[in-house]
A and B are shown apart, each in its own frame.
Chain A
Amino acid sequence: MSDSLAVLKGDNNISLTVNGESISERVPVRRNLADFLRLDLGLTGTHVGCEHGVCGACTVRLDDKIVRSCLILAIQADGKRVDTIEGLSDDGHLEDLQAAFHARNGLQCGFCTPGILLTAAELIETHPDADREKIREFLSGNYCRCTGYHAIVDAIESVVHSRQKKRAI
């Protein structure tokens, strides 16, 4: 075995980019990314709903792809780029989705909303012509208890249409 391969125990240093900012923190090996964002960085917009990877409330972007932050160790994010709801809000990435959700009331309690917005953003990026069925299918891993999804589908559909219109111009 290579002598240079370290065994990490206890707390370890990690360096990563979070919402465009360089972060260096010391974290327990076992701490997952969701807890790291919430406890160590105070970014509480990423919510913990189950810790099984099922509800989607903890969804963040890791190197530009949506993932369940409860199923990733913070140390696995070392050297990577994480974007959370706060960062993607502030840089305008979610602007049209947020406006559509607001107008259509595509949220009630707001607990699932960050995960839903990030998922919706990836949906429209990967499937720019998604229809309602595709929207529901892509969202099938995000649990919302308040809305029953209809308003969410409406909101996302309206963004699909408005982006289609912009592309057509």
Chain B
Amino acid sequence: MSDRRYPDAAADDFPAPPTEFTDREDRTVEIRPYGGSEAAYESLVEMYDAFDPSDRAQGIPPGGEKRIREWLDAILDDDCYNVIAWCGDQVAGHATLVPDGDAYELAIFVHQEYQRAGIGTHLIRGLLGHGQAEGVEKVWLTVERWNRAAVSLYKKIGFETSNAESFELEMGLRLNEDEEDGTDEDDEG
């Protein structure tokens, strides 16, 4: 699990939240880091409770409020980075980086009412900007290979496929250069 591969070069700079934009449905959407307030937490629970089960990926988000809360408690922990897309006081989408050894695992969810409006792109860029500012070096994710919309979004962002041998594609992105040394010239090709 620790031999994941990442692009050699660090990605360009992503905008650190808070940021605001108008989506393709003319809604004002604000991207903000999750600050730990109870109101934000409950709004997240509400979004996931209303989440279309057909948009689940590899078992998340879980179904049912109790399991949603357990899952959120784990991924909203202090060592994780979380960013929320707000439309007024409603959560339109949520993206998260969860630590995994020397890297972070990424996931992003946009509520079905807010999909296909450009929010996912802003949200993931906001999350990566937040992670970049906090010094995160490496990010990986898995995506079901039939999920073309997601795969093309990740590619557009700069993710490169690191493992295509399973049901799911694994992709990696380097956010910041290695801190320890620059001699990361291992077995390329």
Is B one of A's binding partners?
no
Interfacial residues, chain B to chain A (CB-CB below 8 A)? none
Interfacial residues, chain A to chain B (CB-CB below 8 A)? none
